[in-house]
């Protein structure tokens, strides 16, 4: 991710007048690059936050075969969820690295939204980049686009009737880590919980050459401070908010 943060004039407080959120991301560890600290804040408030992972991240470790990596990353994600108070975790079993924003994925995501009936949806950056010259992962981009479409589909009684009754429209979809951030959440007092959640992915971090996640943790702390300063608090995480 690019080491950038939005300016204060761009950021509003993310609305928190909701009870249930469904986080939909491509891989184990996606929520842990900042958003997990906000999740820790929300579950401490008594909100119901659930995770839906589109893949098991089985192609994420070059030194281990996918059949070995998938159960390992699933186990690490469960520990990661526990660290921030998330009690519901599901996987869709789409192929890691090959996710496509097609009708099949929209149907799967619409079914999940109808099943969980969240007030709001959470995800991570689906833009082409994280800022600067970086290029975002294809799965992140595909999941974000499909999620915005599926959020609208789930409320339409004439679309995908085979996957359940339509639900009320979600209030918004919030994407963390976006270079086009519009909102922020004060995570002062919850940053360490998010870091614990990240450290649960110890095998994956080791495969990236960051044993213990020290470099990644330093990045998270730095970004929380920079965003917090822009937002007028000690620590904050930013989101791009879209309305389906």
- 219 in helix, strand or coil? helix
Is this structure's pTM higher than 0.85? yes
Name the CATH architecture for the domain at 8-242: 3-Layer(aba) Sandwich (3.40)
Question: What are the tokens at 57?
Answer: 């991240």
Give residues with Cβ within 8 angstroms of 94, minimum separation 6: 54, 55, 105, 108
Whether the pLDDT of residue 4 is over 60: the answer is: no
Tens of pLDDT, residue by residue over 108-162, are 999 999 999 999 999 999 999 998 888 999 999 999 999 999 999 999 999 999 9
Taking the C-alpha atoms of residue 77 and residue 198, their distance in angstroms, rounded to an integer, is 9
Picking from 10, 24, 67, the residue whose alpha carbon sits closest to that of residue 175 is 24
């Amino acid at each position: 991710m690019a080491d950038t943060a939005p300016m204060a004039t761009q950021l509003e407080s993310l609305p928190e007048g909701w009870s249930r959120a469904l986080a939909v991301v491509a891989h184990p560890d996606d929520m842990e690059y900042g958003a997990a600290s906000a999740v820790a804040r929300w579950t401490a408030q008594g909100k119901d936050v659930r995770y839906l992972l589109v893949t098991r991240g089985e192609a994420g470790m070059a030194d281990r075969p996918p059949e070995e990596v998938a159960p390992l990353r699933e186990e690490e994600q469960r520990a990661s969820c526990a660290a921030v108070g998330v009690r519901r975790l599901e996987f869709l079993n789409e192929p890691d690295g090959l996710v496509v924003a097609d009708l099949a994925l929209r149907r799967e995501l619409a079914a999940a939204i109808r099943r969980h009936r969240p007030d709001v949806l959470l995800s991570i950056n689906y833009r082409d980049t994280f800022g600067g010259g970086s290029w975002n992962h294809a799965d992140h981009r595909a999941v974000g686009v499909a999620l915005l479409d599926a959020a609208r589909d789930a409320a339409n009684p004439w679309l995908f009737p085979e996957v359940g009754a339509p639900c009320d429209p979600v209030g918004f979809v919030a994407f963390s880590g976006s270079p086009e951030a519009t909102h922020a959440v004060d995570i002062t007092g919850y940053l360490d919980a998010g870091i614990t959640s990240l450290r649960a992915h110890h095998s994956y971090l080791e495969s990236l050459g960051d044993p213990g996640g020290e470099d990644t943790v330093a990045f998270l702390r730095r970004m929380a401070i920079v965003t917090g300063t822009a937002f007028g608090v000690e620590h904050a995480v930013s989101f791009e908010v879209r309305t389906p």
